[in-house]
Amino acid sequence: MWRVGAFEPTFESEMAARYDIPRLPEGARRAEFLAEHGPDVRVLVTSGSPGVDAGTISALPNLEAIVNNGAGVDLIDLATAKRRGIGVSNTPDVLSDSVADTALGLILMTLRRFGAADRFVRAGRWAREGPFPYARDVSGLQVGILGLGRIGSAIATRLLGFDCAIAYHNRHRIEGSPYRYAESPLQLAESVDVLVVATTGDRGARHLVDRAVLEALGSEGYLINIARGSVVDQQALVELLVGGALGGAGLDVFADEPDVPAELLDLDNVVLFPHIGSATGRTRRAMALLAITNLERYLETGELVTPVVRPRRR
């Protein structure tokens, strides 16, 4: 059993209390290591970045399972894993509420400009300049959710409490869903005030929110992203925000984390979070324990509890 990359802190301490597992070398030393020890590796444990690419998987002829601490498995080459019968697990469900809360926080902060209002007070501007400018109501808006999965649904449920009208786009329409279905991301963006990105970050979702989708949201529209930076054309997003062609954005994720485009730092209609969607003590512990349960179950039975790819029977 080997680990890839640094672990999220709670996962690090929960793992350290149970196992002493070595870390796969990075950079140039990895190839040398894999050539010598590759056949010994049966299980890889990771916490997202830097991921497990096709080259690494190919150099591990006896790899059986990859256990990920996190819901998103976009940095793991699932196609190669599937072909080889290598199981891959993630940590779904336990983080949905925290990530949905983060989306609501971003929506409220961005439209009501709560972050900017807080900075206004701290800078002594209230006393000097008088009242803070009006913002935009969240209650009663049309909100589009791109990706109505577990997290998207939790976001929708919360927004019902704000009397918002919910629409969504998914690869497939969800039978029995109470929400209006839009045939494409573009059609969704054209018909809503706020577009919330809650898709997976797999290759098929890359730049699903492109320039045309952002332009369709328009100067009165807002983009919220708690999914993956890769789903949005970030360059177009920055250009439209700087030029005033998009009303605002609330972003928890970016194309090249932890880099955030410098142009966004001075915009008061943009709220920037450091990828904290699931970052509460309780949720991070639940994620860590679910990842460890997957690992233990695999070692004992050859099965995973929450598989994204089922392991082949060996």
Active-site residues, by number, are 228, 257, 275
Q: Whole-number minimum distance, CB 254 to ligand 8YV, in Å?
A: 12
Q: What's the rounded Cα separation, in Å, for the pair 138 and 143?
A: 9
* Selected binder of ligand 8YV within 38, 147, 149, 277 (CB under 6 A): 277
Binding of ligand 8YV at residue 200 (CB under 6 A)?
no
Per CB under 6 A, contacts with ligand 8YV among 166-185 are none
Contact 246, 240 (CB under 8 A): yes
Binding of ligand 8YV at residue 102 (CB under 6 A)?
no
Q: Whole-number minimum distance, CB 19 to ligand 8YV, in Å?
A: 17
Q: Whole-number minimum distance, CB 95 to ligand 8YV, in Å?
A: 5
Binding of ligand 8YV at residue 48 (CB under 6 A)?
yes
Taking Cα atoms as reference points, which of 139, 115, 116 lies closest to residue 129?
116
E strands present in the chain: 2-4, 43-46, 65-68, 87-89, 142-146, 165-169, 180-181, 194-197, 222-225, 248-251, 270-272, 307-309
Stretch that binds ligand 8YV, among 63-71, 77-85, 154-162, 172-180 (CB under 6 A): 63-71
Binding of ligand 8YV at residue 71 (CB under 6 A)?
yes
The crossing angle, in degrees rounded to 10, of helices 281-301 and 96-112 is 150
Asked if omega into 50 is within 30° of 0 (cis), the reply is: yes
Structure tokens at 79: 């196609």
Q: Whole-number minimum distance, CB 103 to ligand 8YV, in Å?
A: 13
**CA trace torsion 86, 92, 94, 97 (10° rounding):** 160
Is the CB of 18 or the CB of 83 nearer to ligand 8YV? 18
Binding of ligand 8YV at residue 67 (CB under 6 A)?
no
Binding of ligand 8YV at residue 70 (CB under 6 A)?
yes
- Interface characters, 223-262, with ligand 8YV (x: CB under 6 A): ----------------------------------------
Stretch that binds ligand 8YV, among 65-73, 126-134, 140-148, 302-310 (CB under 6 A): 65-73
Beta bridge partners of 195: 144, 223
Structure tokens at 253: 């994720």
Binding of ligand 8YV at residue 269 (CB under 6 A)?
no
* Selected binder of ligand 8YV within 8, 64, 77, 193 (CB under 6 A): 8
**CA trace torsion 233, 207, 254, 113 (10° rounding):** 70
Q: What's the rounded Cα separation, in Å, for the pair 125 and 123?
A: 5
Q: Whole-number minimum distance, CB 273 to ligand 8YV, in Å?
A: 11
H helix intervals, 142-280? 150-160, 185-190, 211-217, 234-243
* Selected binder of ligand 8YV within 275, 285, 297, 310 (CB under 6 A): 275
- Which residues would be at the binding site for ligand 8YV (CB under 6 A)? 8, 47-48, 69-72, 95, 275, 277-278
